[in-house]
Amino acid sequence: MGMTISEKILAKHAGVEGVEPGEIISVKVDIALGNDITAPIAIKEFKRAGAKKVFDKGRVALVPDHFAPNKDIASAEQCKILRDFAKEQDIENYFETGEMGVEHALLPEQGIVTPGDVIIGADSHTCTYGALGAFSTGVGSTDLAAAMVTGETWFKVPESMKFVYTGKLPKWVDGKDLILYTIGKIGVDGALYRSMEFTGPVIDSLPMDDRFTMANMAIEAGGKNGIIAPDAITKAYVEGRMKRPPVYYASDADAVYSDVIEIDCSKLSPQVAFPHLPSNTRAVEEAGNVAIDQVVIGSCTNGRISDLRKAAAVLKGKKVAKYLRLIVIPATQQIYRQAMEEGLFDIFLDAGAAISTPTCGPCLGGHTGILAAGERSLATTNRNFVGRMGSPDSEVYLASPAVAAATAVKGVIASPEEVA
């Protein structure tokens, strides 16, 4: 019996020839990641355990991105814990304000995460790195602490689901629309503790940025991880970037899946997730006349350079609707500089947008775009739970950068076709 790509990676890191779903295994981790919300708890547990040194100062990554730049005294204290620990342990992959970015955009960009890796992070969207063909998943802060000490963690081997995307993507439909449609189809628990393997001809031609978006939101369907087998597009992204040699895995032809779901993309429209679940999706033309107070373009889901280009293509020569706030947040400093050099900032500023330094900020209701009671935001982020971006009496809608830009211009949820 063959193995899936996820099973092969886990078996390799467990030091065994094969694994089966449901099996409890101990694996060696390649990267252990923490941020300014979750890592302070892990650091406390690390010290409480009596540990003196992390297992490998080059395999731990600490990124202050959620409430950074510090929004208040409490967040400053959180970031200081990271900074002090990074100094004490001589952590190689610590990123200070001015060089940091949103962690799940930053680590691939910097070549810290690699195809074939096992990566854990005390953040649920650590599953992003599955786009590279790595097994990557979120864990609790205590599991992160244990991994920082031992270099190991444990898993129950997940069952795998295969998603096969066929047809041709219509104009304005991208990876965000594919994953929103998928979550809408199976529900927020439709892939509970399963590996979501994205395949098919549409995936084969999908750019890396869109692949990151899809893997990023696997957790929103309950997935343990999202993963895409490496191909020529992956290898082109990896070349000259990675700090360690990549290892490429692929599923066997006779691998076993709990489900195989086929999706014809030919007739898909841009998608919008309505409050208060990422699965509450509908086509943009079915959204109705929903007035929006704030639009956010950014986050670990859609703050990459191609996302900003898509938004700029819609916004060029247009103005943001009166009384609407448009906030654009490049996901890393490198993306920030590239967008500036390409003239995208001129388009955003001419339209009436505010441009922020990289931060998670409004995505989790942290800062730089908190919602008041009764307000509605359309965002390119990944979650729209009650109170996610501020007041529990506010609403969050999720969509792609193109839909976000069109909505900023119209003042109501709108298709890019109406604006561009």
Q: pLDDT tens digit string along 84-119?
A: 999 999 999 999 989 989 999 999 999 999 999 999
CB within 8 Å of 105: residues ≥ 6 apart? 212, 300, 303, 304, 331, 332, 335
Q: pLDDT tens digit string along 251-287?
A: 999 999 999 999 999 999 999 999 999 999 999 999 9
The torsion angles phi and psi of 94, rounded to 5 degrees, stand at -110, 135
The CATH number of domain 5-241+256-262, selected from 3.40.50.970, 2.40.160.40, 3.30.499.10, 3.20.20.210 = 3.30.499.10
Q: What band does 418 get if pLDDT is binned at 50, 70 and 90?
A: confident
Residue 57 pLDDT > 90: yes
What is the model's pLDDT at position 420?
Answer: 75
3-state SS record for the chain: CECCHHHHHHHHHHCCCCCCCCCEEEEECCEEEEECCCHHHHHHHHHHCCCCCCCCCCCEEEECCCCCCCCCHHHHHHHHHHHHHHHHHCCCEECCCCCCCCHHHHHHHCCCCCCCCEEEECCHHHHHHHHHCCEEEECCHHHHHHHHHHCEEEEECCEEEEEEEECCCCCCCCHHHHHHHHHHHHCCCCCCCEEEEEECHHHHCCCHHHHHHHHHHHHHHCCCEEECCCCHHHHHHHCCCCCCCCCCCCCCCCECCCEEEEEECCCCCCEEECCCCCCCEEEHHHCCCCECCEEEECHHHHCCHHHHHHHHHHHCCCCCCCCCEEEECCCCHHHHHHHHHCCHHHHHHHHCCEECCCCCHHHHCCCCCCECCCCEEEECCCCCCCCCCECCCCEEEECCHHHHHHHHHHCECCCHHHCC
Q: pLDDT tens digit string along 156-166?
A: 999 999 999 99
Decide if domain 271-418 falls under CATH 3.40.50.2300: no
What is the model's pLDDT at position 45?
Answer: 96
What is the model's pLDDT at position 243?
Answer: 87
Read off the pTM.
0.95
> ∠ CA(413), CA(414), CA(415), 5° rounding?
145
Q: What band does 66 get if pLDDT is binned at 50, 70 and 90?
A: very high
Distance CA(305)–CA(295), nearest Å, equals 18
Structure tokens at 380: 């390119």
Check: CB of residue 104 under 8 Å from CB of residue 216: yes
Q: pLDDT tens digit string along 201-259?
A: 999 999 999 999 999 999 999 999 999 999 999 999 999 998 899 999 999 999 999 99
Q: What band does 122 get if pLDDT is binned at 50, 70 and 90?
A: very high
Residue 318 pLDDT > 90: yes
Q: pLDDT tens digit string along 364-404?
A: 888 999 999 999 999 999 999 999 999 999 999 999 999 99
Residue span(s) of the chain under CATH 3.30.499.10 come to: 5-241+256-262, 271-418
Residue 1 pLDDT > 80: no
With tokens 């949103």, the residue in question is 102
